[in-house]
Amino acid sequence: MCANYQFWLIYVAMTKIAAAIMVSNLDQALNLAAKAAELGADLVEYRVDNLAELPGGDGAKLVNTLIEKSPLPCIITCRAAWEGGECDCDDQQRVSFLENACLNGETRPAYLDFELASHQKSFNIRQKVELMVDHPGQVREVETGLILSSHDFDKRPVDLYQRVEAMAHAAACRVIKVAWHARSLRDNIEAFEVLESQYKPTIALCMGEDGLPSRVLAKKFGALLTFAAIDGQQGTAPGQPTISDLKKFYRWDKLNAQTKVYGVIGHPVGHSMSPAIFNAAFEAKDYDGVYLPMRIEPSYESFKATVHSWLDLPSLHFKGASVTIPHKENLIRFVTEQGGEVEQLAQKIGAANTLTVRDDGSLYASNSDYAGALDAVVQNMGIPREEVKDLRVAVIGAGGAARAIVAGFSHYGATVVVYNRTLEKARKLADEFTNPYGKVVAAPMDKLCDSCCQVFINCTPLGMHPNVESSPLPADFAGYGPGIVVFDTVYNPRNTLLLRQARAAGCLTIQGTEMFVRQAAAQYSLWTNQEAPVDTFTKVLLDKLG
């Protein structure tokens, strides 16, 4: 146990980024390797699958030169087609090619990757492979280490642990490598457990969109290395981030065993801007955290099982998540079932967007959407939240966003009029949120032009890309003028038609990005107990929106 721990600590400091290159010719491979070195890779894996069958031993000679001239230490891999590679030779041919490729040149590769299945299959193959690498029985001076590897491009192999054990017990194996296609985020947890349980250097990676955490957090769990693509096109396995993504976006150089993990839970999440803004914020504040996209299938069962598995691994330090469609209701149910606390207003809204894991491990579900909208209005008006009670607010729309905004403003005592296309929905909202200090009434959409409210908040998609020429209010709306506030929750585009018209008429206007930034800032403060770097959030969001 103690020895394992010591090894593990050493590996934490050593986790490398390896750039995988599918070799087609010498110049192409060397140019890409030079680019990888420039981007910050520590190692390069040359995939020489297509060179084994070149006539006259040309492939092996090319590899000799490649190893000699490589700008980075290298792994040589000739992946068999049956293991997801492109080499159709049989094992004998592949091993002969590798012998010529790795032993005949002036320089040796740092590692040779060979499939566990072939290594186990034949004594003769095993013997030949072991002649090429360093191990306790090796009599020659050889530095090359053997990576025994196993891949499943479909699912987690049922015999995952038997495979890992076989590699661990193979004396010639210096590095254990397992990679499989993640069917869900839960697979990452198993990859971390494999890394934690080994005392040999190990690579445990999940492929596909759901496997990203295993690639980014490989350093946190002390893997020997993670693979990264040189650019968007160069990856050799699905789901590989680029070297730049790892270094700049996911803060690779700062990751360590104690780094706190956060994410955005939703389905889909690929389009979310939250990873960009939160990772930039952690960097700006030098906060030891990383933020990942977390796609979870829409059902409550999937949400529960996944979040459970992430919370149950203490060394992951999973400390919180932004939660979006379709899991906002699931978050309240989950935290309630776990005996955690649900913010009162989130309970009333029926949706929470923030999961916080407190220092004592207890869970807290809250809603930062209403606070984001409320703060966007009061801060732009230059008034404290307490003065919200003096406002008459027109909320246009009665969907999810309107619900959070009505809850927030009525909670602080404002008089709210909900205008909606479907009057019945507006009435339902008004009935639910009218309270002793904040009155909420419903009105049909065609009465909006008669409104005498001071604050107008658009909570419909009118004006949103691609329907940028629509607006809930006409350009000649008589209620526009100085002293009137118009807030559009739509943030793509930033300057909607509604805001342009209102600004031209002298109104104070507030863009939807301000709500987005402030709700994120509220989450940041809750998780870190620090003030959020709002300027960083805004800059990254505006850069992303273009």
Q: Enumerate binding residues for ligand NAP (CB under 6 A).
A: 397-402, 420-422, 425, 459-462, 464, 489-491, 512, 515-516, 519
Nearer to ligand NAP by C-beta: 129 or 332?
332
Q: In what order do the strands lie in the sheet with 354-357?
A: 289-295, 260-266, 318-323, 354-357, 363-366, 341-342
328 is catalytic: yes
86 phi/psi in degrees, rounded to 5? -120, 5
| Active-site residue identified among 328, 348, 375, 411 | 328
Nearer to ligand NAP, 462 or 505 (CB): 462
Three-state secondary structure of 119-145: HHHCHHHHHHHHHCCCCCCCCCCCCCE
Q: What strand order describes the sheet that includes 485-488? A: 440-444, 415-420, 392-396, 455-458, 485-488, 508-510
* Strands, E assignment, 436-523: 440-444, 455-458, 485-488, 508-510
Give the list of residues 6+ apart from residue 99 with CB closer than 8 angstroms, or none. Answer: 128, 131, 132
Catalytic-labelled residue, pool 49, 369, 375, 488: 369
State the helix-helix crossing angle for 534-545 and 274-285, rounded to 10 degrees. 140
253 is catalytic: no
Q: Which of 113, 119, 151, 245 is catalytic?
A: 151
Q: Judged by CB, which is closer to ligand NAP: 187, or 488?
A: 488
Q: Which two tokens stand for residue 335?
A: 């935290």
Q: Which two tokens stand for residue 464?
A: 């949103």
Smallest distance, ligand NAP to C-beta of residue 442, A:
11
Is residue 393 within 8 Å of residue 414, measured between CB atoms?
Answer: yes
Q: Judge whether 369 counts as a catalytic residue.
A: yes
Cβ neighbours of residue 504 closer than 8 Å, sequence gap 6 or more: none
Least CB distance from residue 425 to ligand NAP, whole Å?
A: 4
List the structure tokens of 275. Answer: 């990873």
Catalytic residue among 49, 119, 177, 187: 177
Residue nearest to ligand NAP (CB): 399
CB 333 within 8 A of CB 340: no
User: Residue 325 Cβ, how far from ligand NAP at the closest point, in Å?
Assistant: 8
- The residue assigned the tokens 């009333």 is 348
Distance CA 496, CA 492 (A): 8
- Active-site residue flag, 200: no
Distance in Å, CB of 51 to ligand NAP, minimum? 52
Shortest gap between Cβ of 411 and ligand NAP (angstroms)? 18
List for the chain the helix, strand, coil content (%; round to 5).
45, 20, 35
Closer of 229 and 498 to ligand NAP (Cβ): 498
Mapped onto helix, strand or coil, the DSSP state of residue 269 is coil
CB nearer ligand NAP, residue 203 or residue 442: 442
Nearer to ligand NAP, 332 or 515 (CB): 515
Nearer to ligand NAP, 397 or 438 (CB): 397
Identify which of 224, 203, 171 has the alpha carbon closest to the alpha carbon of residue 14.
224
Find the shortest distance in angstroms from Cβ 269 to ligand NAP: 15
Closest contact distance (angstroms) between CB of 353 and ligand NAP is 9
Residue 382, by phi and psi: left (phi above 0), alpha (psi -120 to 50) or beta? Answer: left
Catalytic residue ranges: 151, 177, 328, 369
